[in-house]
Amino acid sequence: GAPGVINGLTCGAGMPYRLSDIAIKYGIPYYPIVSSGRAFNALWRRAYSKAPELLGGVVYEDPWRAGGHNGLSNTENPLHPEDPFPRVLELRRVMRQYGLDETPIIMAGGVWALEDWQDWIGNPDLGPIAFQFGTRPLLTKESPIPEAWKRRLLTLKKGDVYLNRFSPTGFYSSAVNNSFMHDLRGRSERQVAYSPEATAELDASYGVGARKREVFVSSTDRQHIAGWEAAGFTEALRTPDDTLVFVTPDSAREILADQTNCMGCLSACKFSNWMQREPYTNGQKADPRSFCIQKTLQTIAHAPNDEHADDVVDHNLMFGGTNAWRFGTDPFYANGFVPTVGQLVERILTGR
């Protein structure tokens, strides 16, 4: 529907095997996003070897530094970021096995200034290298994010953006540690194991819901529950892991309403247990420790520019790369300066 307008295809968030098929169909380059040489190797062997001439470049998205959903594997520790250089070097080694010596690698995630990457540029071991700026363009005149989001970027401190696994996609994601994230952490922290029948460890009776259906928790957790209820967290919601999480009545109503109003935006959703194929459910309980991602992303993207805007930004998912705190320390943004895209590009070309 857009002949001559599309210059290339890119896709991440998983293993985009079909990307090369789409590129072949329309005769345009493709730029897969990977987070390791191992991932690219699997993609090449299964699919991309059919279209080597259309492979325009490979985006290495650092799973610890990029904003949004990241490709951390089960063998990688989210709390211990790895140096990207040896990982990209391994990616190039894999690519060279397939004759892709001159295919550019595009470094994404944690890229702020080109002067930070001097050892990469022109390095023969890495080969052709380019850099993707994902965070800095957020804070430009033309950026469509709300003004309250832009103001918040200028106040971030180091460590204010962190990896979490609350997303209904099941992926780790990188977001600003605001009240929205505090609430999600609180749900998981106010969590106890339960059983429908008494066991040696779960021997204390507790009534769940309006009908006070009896379940059993540990004696120690029964004391924790009493404390949470005294603080207003009186509603117990079941999780797929046979645990109860405790939230306020208002929060419980919002969670249940969001689950009921699911629009099926994901092929499989932890929060609502939706699945696109029959039987249209993954067979698991909906997980109240997660959230409706479509609702929160739509809400923050369209936050009104009024007196409530800052609250809207603080109470919704605010994706960001881990380097977003540098807005507050980079002299380019002193006194709240917000550049145009043109001014930003000029700044980037200076290396700073």
Provide the whole-model pTM: 0.88
256-281 residue pLDDT tens: 999 999 988 888 899 998 888 888 88
Do 116 and 15 fall within a single domain? yes
Domain range enclosing 26: 9-132
Report the alpha-carbon distance of residue 10 to residue 114 in Å, rounded: 23
Tokens of 292: 């409706």
What SS3 class is residue 125?
coil
* pLDDT (mean) for 305-328: 94
Domain boundary (132, 164, 186) is at: 132
Do 109 and 184 fall within a single domain? no
Do 270 and 177 fall within a single domain? yes
> Does residue 342 lie within any of the structural domains?
no
> Does residue 99 lie within any of the structural domains?
yes
Nearest to 312 by CA among 297, 327, 290: 297
Do 123 and 236 fall within a single domain? no
Do 267 and 203 fall within a single domain? yes
Is it the case that residue 71 has pLDDT exceeding 70? yes
Residues 6+ away with beta carbon under 8 Å from 82: 64, 76
Per the structure, the count of domains in the chain is 2
Burial of 304 by CB count in 10 Å (0-12 exposed, 13-18 middle, 19+ buried)?
exposed
Amino acid identity, position 261? N
Do 20 and 68 fall within a single domain? yes
144-182 residue pLDDT tens: 999 999 999 999 999 999 899 999 998 999 999 999 999
Domain boundary (108, 132, 156) is at: 132
Domain boundary (132, 150, 183) is at: 132
Report the alpha-carbon distance of residue 237 to residue 260 in Å, rounded: 15
Do 217 and 108 fall within a single domain? no
> Does residue 208 lie within any of the structural domains?
yes
Q: Which helix (H) or strand (E) holds 223?
A: helix 219-230
8 Å CB contact between 75 and 48: no
* pLDDT (mean) for 105-120: 97
> Does residue 176 lie within any of the structural domains?
yes
Do 93 and 39 fall within a single domain? yes
Amino acid identity, position 11? C
Tokens of 312: 């809207």
Question: How would residue 13 be classed by pLDDT, with cut points 50, 70 and 90?
Answer: low
> Does residue 333 lie within any of the structural domains?
no
Do 263 and 179 fall within a single domain? yes
CATH code, 95: 3.20.20
CA angle, 204 then 205 then 210, to 5°: 145
> Does residue 320 lie within any of the structural domains?
no
Q: Dihedral through CA 313, CA 314, CA 318, CA 320, nearest 10?
A: 110
Report the alpha-carbon distance of residue 303 to residue 309 in Å, rounded: 6
214-229 residue pLDDT tens: 999 999 999 999 999 9
Question: How would residue 30 be classed by pLDDT, with cut points 50, 70 and 90?
Answer: very high
Do 107 and 187 fall within a single domain? no
pLDDT at 19: 94
Do 198 and 261 fall within a single domain? yes
> Does residue 349 lie within any of the structural domains?
no
Average pLDDT in the chain = 94
Do 86 and 20 fall within a single domain? yes
> Does residue 336 lie within any of the structural domains?
no
